[in-house]
Amino acid sequence: MNNSYKDIRKHVDSIRLVDTHEHLPQEGERVNKIVDVLSQFYLHYTSSDLRSAGMSMEDILYIRDTKIPLDYRWAVFEPWWEKIKNTGYSRCMEIAARELYGVDGINAETYKQLSRKMMDRNKKGLY
């Protein structure tokens, strides 16, 4: 390595940088929506896991549709959750459930409680 590289590297390494890199809607948009575990946690990367497991795009759109009762959507989602729950993206969703909402896991016993907590916090100041 030449001295220029070392000098540049030293300078770059001294820069404090935080990359929050989120995929969040604007707060004003988010707080005006009905939110639940299926409409929020299965939007991005985890929906790719669902597709890889064989879930149709039609069913993915169905489980995200908050106009349909959550119980109906969970019934469609649950068998697919069993197939993807150990992927890296799904593990992140379980960590989020625990760390952000105090709910231990995403399953038939917790999805309603998690969804209620998500909706309760869906107010101005969320972000």
Q: What is the pLDDT of residues 74-124, one digit of tens each?
A: 999 999 999 999 999 999 999 999 999 999 999 999 999 999 999 999 999
In a domain, 87, yes or no: yes
In a domain, 4, yes or no: no
In a domain, 13, yes or no: no
In a domain, 113, yes or no: yes
In a domain, 64, yes or no: yes
Examine the pLDDT at 18 and tell me if it is beyond 80.
no
In a domain, 68, yes or no: yes
In a domain, 32, yes or no: yes
The 10s digit of each residue's pLDDT in 54-84 is: 999 999 999 999 999 999 999 999 999 999 9
Number of domains in the chain: 1
Residue 127 pLDDT = 84
Domain that holds residue 31: 26-120
Residue 102: which residues within 8 A CB-CB, separation 6 or more? 117
In a domain, 93, yes or no: yes
